């Protein structure tokens, strides 16, 4: 992992110069307008009062970022969640493309859905809830039988991060995961910076250090609907991946260890196709995932060219994804049941959202042929993902 972490350090030094803070530091809040009232928008951001809580003795808040075009993002330091993101559609109207809740209590009740959360210490699944590192076995909480998913019983999505709103367009969250928290070794100091850029992109920069050898795989678990939250299925969205291979899974969603070409399979999005065009094919992998819930092996992983592009069929909104990560987990909302009421009052119906989780591969600690997720003292974990929005021409 040392080569993976350090190879990007020169590239990302400018985004990592903000000092880390630990402990229960008061958040620096920038005055922002909690609702959008301009004439092109029908989007309403959450009420700040719904996010003013105290959890585990630490205060939670709502934060709003805004760029020069009026694009806005709402976040909270509970789980470092991205709650809402309003971007213009083909008519110029602002559309909320991130599925989120209107208050903290709703996030706590629906914690297993991970809507918009920062995921850690290990994103995705670890087989049978254990791994070995330097000859020692570590046992984790099994929360997705028979496996561990997204950190365990209480991953980073359910803790209160320290927050510092740097300016109207940038906020940094920091969290110290203590040695053996959720069964993982090492005191892991994490920093996640969200920047809403003036080219209508959300740039997420991650940094972590440890005092013992450990594993780390951080990601964001936003659910997107580019037609707008609650505006129907995502099956008619058009998707394209720069990924000639993917990692097949077994019946418990753990990679088999193979890296398999997508050519000739329903996983071939090397040319644009709608998400729903082959999702119901008689394919063993689609049956294992109940649809798409698979890691795509990216042909290249840097932030100079998109690794994936998605276009909303109704809105014309185009989302391009750039990342330094080697994999991208595409999830097609297969377990959305309509049981949660989202921001704006609509429910999270079946396949009304999709996730694009940039990451290292699932179960890498148990599969040495995959890119390593080991972080050692003296190394710095750095990774960047960008979700950029425009309109399809």
Q: Is 357 in the active site?
A: yes
Q: Which of 61, 81, 150, 221 is catalytic?
A: 221
Q: Is 52 in the active site?
A: no
The separation between the first and the last C-alpha atoms of the chain, rounded to the nearest angstrom, is 40
DSSP output for 31-99: ---SS--STTB---PPPGGGG-EEETTEEE-EEEEE-TT--EEEEETBTTEEEEEEEE-TTS-EEE-B-
Q: Which of 155, 159, 151, 153 is nearest to 124 (CA)?
A: 151
Q: How many residues does the chain have?
A: 393
Mention every residue, 6+ apart, whose C-beta is less than 8 A from residue 317.
Answer: 87, 88, 89, 90, 95, 97, 226, 227, 311, 389, 390, 391, 392
CB-based contact 217:153 (threshold 8 Å)? no
Catalytic sites, residue numbers: 221, 357
């Amino acid at each position: 992992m040392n080569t993976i972490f350090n190879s990007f350090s020169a590239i990302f030094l400018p985004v990592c110069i903000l000092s880390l803070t630990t402990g229960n530091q008061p958040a620096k809040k920038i005055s922002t307008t909690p609702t959008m009232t301009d004439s092109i928008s029908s989007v309403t951001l959450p009420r700040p009062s719904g996010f003013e809580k105290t959890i585990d003795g630490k205060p939670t808040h709502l934060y709003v970022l805004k760029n020069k075009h009026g694009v806005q993002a709402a976040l909270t330091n509970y789980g470092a969640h991205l709650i809402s993101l309003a971007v213009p559609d083909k008519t110029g109207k602002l559309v909320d493309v991130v599925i989120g809740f209107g208050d903290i209590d709703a996030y706590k009740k629906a914690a297993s859905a991970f809507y918009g959360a920062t995921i850690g210490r290990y994103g995705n699944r670890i087989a049978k809830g254990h791994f070995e590192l330097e000859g020692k076995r570590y046992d984790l909480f099994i929360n997705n039988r028979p496996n561990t998913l997204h950190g365990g019983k209480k991953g980073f999505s359910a803790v209160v991060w320290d927050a510092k709103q740097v300016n109207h367009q940038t906020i940094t969250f920091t969290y110290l995961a203590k040695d053996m928290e959720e069964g993982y070794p090492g005191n892991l100091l994490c920093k996640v910076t969200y920047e809403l850029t003036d080219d209508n992109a959300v740039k997420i920069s991650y940094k972590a250090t440890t005092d013992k050898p450990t594993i780390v795989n951080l990601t964001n678990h936003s659910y997107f609907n580019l037609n707008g939250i609650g505006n129907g299925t995502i099956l008619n969205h058009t998707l394209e991946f720069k990924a000639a291979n993917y990692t097949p899974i077994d019946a418990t969603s753990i990679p088999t260890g193979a890296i398999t070409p997508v050519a000739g399979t329903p996983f071939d999005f090397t040319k644009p196709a709608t998400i729903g065009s082959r999702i119901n094919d008689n394919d063993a992998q689609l049956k294992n995932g109940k649809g798409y819930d698979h890691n795509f092996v990216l042909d290249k992983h840097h932030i100079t060219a998109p690794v994936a592009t998605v276009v909303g069929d109704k809105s014309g909104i185009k989302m391009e994804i750039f990342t330094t990560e080697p994999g991208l987990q595409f999830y097609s909302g297969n377990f959305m049941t309509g049981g949660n009421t989202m921001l704006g009052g609509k429910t999270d119906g079946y396949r009304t959202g999709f996730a694009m989780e940039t990451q290292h591969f699932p179960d890498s600690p148990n599969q040495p042929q995959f890119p390593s997720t080991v972080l050692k003292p003296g190394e710095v974990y750095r990774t960047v993902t960008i979700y950029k929005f425009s309109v399809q021409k």
